């Protein structure tokens, strides 16, 4: 894939930097004003968007980070507003169909299943509705909100669902056990203001591309990881701020991993289990043959689900 210019283009993701949107190495922040009191030694402010393909690309790293350093870190999810609307044309992407090929290309690069045909079949007009929906989910339950975001990502990247539509938003909310009546009320009222707060803070912090992850300690020290990076970058950021952070050991067998994360891609299973990527897909397919897992295949890869999983 040839390198394209990211200037002012929110949907174009640069494979070299792992960023969706224009990268800005001069991101600054008043870390003391954003670091809230927490029992965890390191706080992550993670700027993302439900349709950010580079953010889908770091799901394996984030999931492993939670398993190994969950006792030391707190992750605060913030929405960045990747696609306000289609009133721009830059970097070779000016209409939904332009995104289709781009998503197919980044799917190969990140080794994560992404079906770009969404943008040909039922394209989103904006990523704002699903972002506001995430804030509504957060108002109820932070843990369920993270599960809700995962459902959204699987819907948009693998199932080609237009997650700006209420019918799909509601399905995801129901699946993770949110109170739908309250969720709808919040979605139509207070969640929008919370989303606007995320956008405002993002501008203050200089966030211009996704994912952008700020690592903060209680003394106001910070590290920043831009874009999609290998696991070691995220681990090093934590250890720079807290050299005494203890890495937790966790059970890497498939039963335990699927108990924690009911759906896994081959890349995720490889990252979490320590299985070589060349072997991970073979192992997952063998578990399908034994009746332990179910497999959903797209044109650009698959995802495996634990049978009878309570999502």
Band (16; pLDDT cuts 50, 70, 90)? low
Nearest to 51 by CA among 82, 79, 74: 82
Cα dist from 76 to 24, 79, 168, 306, whole Å:
21, 10, 24, 28
Q: Does 3 fall in a domain?
A: no
259 close to 66: Cβ distance less than 8 angstroms: no
pLDDT tens, residue by residue, 72-107: 999 999 999 999 999 865 556 788 999 999 999 999
Residue that is last in its domain, among 205, 223, 239: 205
Q: Does 33 fall in a domain?
A: yes
pLDDT tens, residue by residue, 164-185: 999 999 999 999 999 999 999 9
Domain count for the chain, please give it.
2
Query: Using CA atoms, how far apart are residues 133 and 182, in angstroms rounded to an integer?
Result: 12
Query: Using CA atoms, how far apart are residues 66 and 72, in angstroms rounded to an integer?
Result: 9
Q: Are strands 263-265 and 222-226 parallel, antiparallel or unpaired?
A: unpaired
Q: 42 and 148 in one domain? A: yes
Q: Does 215 fall in a domain?
A: no
pLDDT higher than 60, residue 302: yes
- pTM for the model stands at 0.89
Question: Can you give the pLDDT at residue 13?
Answer: 72
Nearest to 198 by CA among 133, 130, 135: 135
Most distant CA atoms of the chain, gap in Å? 53
Q: Does 225 fall in a domain?
A: no
pLDDT tens, residue by residue, 45-64: 999 999 999 999 999 999 99
Cα dist from 295 to 185, 274, 309, whole Å:
35, 21, 13
- For residue 47, list its beta bridge partners: 78, 212
Q: Does 117 fall in a domain?
A: yes
pLDDT tens, residue by residue, 112-147: 999 999 999 999 999 999 999 999 999 999 999 999
pLDDT tens, residue by residue, 282-298: 999 999 999 999 999 99
Query: Using CA atoms, how far apart are residues 22 and 14, in angstroms rounded to an integer?
Result: 9
- Show the domain range for 106: 14-205
Band (310; pLDDT cuts 50, 70, 90)? low
pLDDT higher than 70, residue 148: yes
Q: Which residue has the tokens 């870390």?
A: 31
* Other residues' Cβ atoms within 10 Å of the Cβ of residue 266: 25
pLDDT tens, residue by residue, 254-277: 999 999 999 999 999 999 999 999
Q: 262 and 137 in one domain? A: no
Span between the terminal Cα atoms of the chain, in Å: 36
Q: 154 and 264 in one domain? A: no
pLDDT tens, residue by residue, 210-258: 999 999 999 999 999 999 999 999 999 999 999 999 999 999 999 999 9
- For residue 265, list its beta bridge partners: 303
Residue that is last in its domain, among 179, 205, 231: 205
Q: Looking at residue 259, which CATH number applies to its domain?
A: 1.10.10.10
């Amino acid at each position: 894939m040839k390198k394209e210019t990211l200037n002012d283009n929110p949907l174009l993701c640069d494979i070299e930097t792992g960023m969706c949107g224009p990268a800005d190495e001069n991101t600054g922040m008043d870390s003391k004003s954003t670091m809230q009191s927490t029992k965890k030694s390191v706080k992550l402010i993670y700027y993302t968007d439900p349709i950010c393909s580079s953010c889908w690309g770091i799901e394996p790293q984030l999931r492993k980070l939670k398993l190994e350093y969950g006792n030391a870190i707190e992750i605060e999810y913030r929405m960045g507003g990747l696609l306000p609307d289609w009133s721009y044309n830059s970097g070779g992407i000016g209409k939904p169909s332009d995104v289709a090929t781009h998503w197919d290309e980044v799917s190969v690069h990140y080794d994560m299943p992404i079906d770009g045909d969404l943008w040909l079949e039922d394209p989103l007009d904006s990523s704002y509705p699903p972002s506001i929906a995430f804030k509504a989910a957060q108002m109820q339950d932070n843990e369920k909100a993270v599960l809700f975001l995962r459902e959204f990502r699987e819907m948009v990247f693998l199932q080609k669902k237009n997650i700006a539509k209420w019918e799909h938003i509601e399905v995801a909310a129901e699946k993770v056990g949110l109170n739908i009546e309250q969720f709808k009320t919040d979605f139509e009222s207070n969640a929008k203001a919370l989303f606007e707060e995320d956008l405002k803070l993002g501008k203050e912090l200089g966030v211009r591309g996704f994912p952008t992850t700020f690592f903060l300690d209680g003394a106001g020290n910070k590290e920043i990881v831009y874009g999609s990076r290998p696991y070691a970058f995220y681990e090093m950021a934590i250890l720079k701020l807290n050299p005494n952070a203890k890495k937790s050991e966790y059970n890497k067998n498939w039963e335990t991993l699927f108990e924690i994360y009911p759906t896994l891609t081959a890349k995720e299973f490889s990252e979490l289990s320590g299985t070589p990527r060349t072997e991970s897909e073979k192992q997952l397919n063998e578990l399908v043959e034994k009746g332990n897992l179910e497999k959903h295949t797209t044109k650009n890869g698959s995802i495996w689900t634990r049978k009878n999983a309570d999502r």
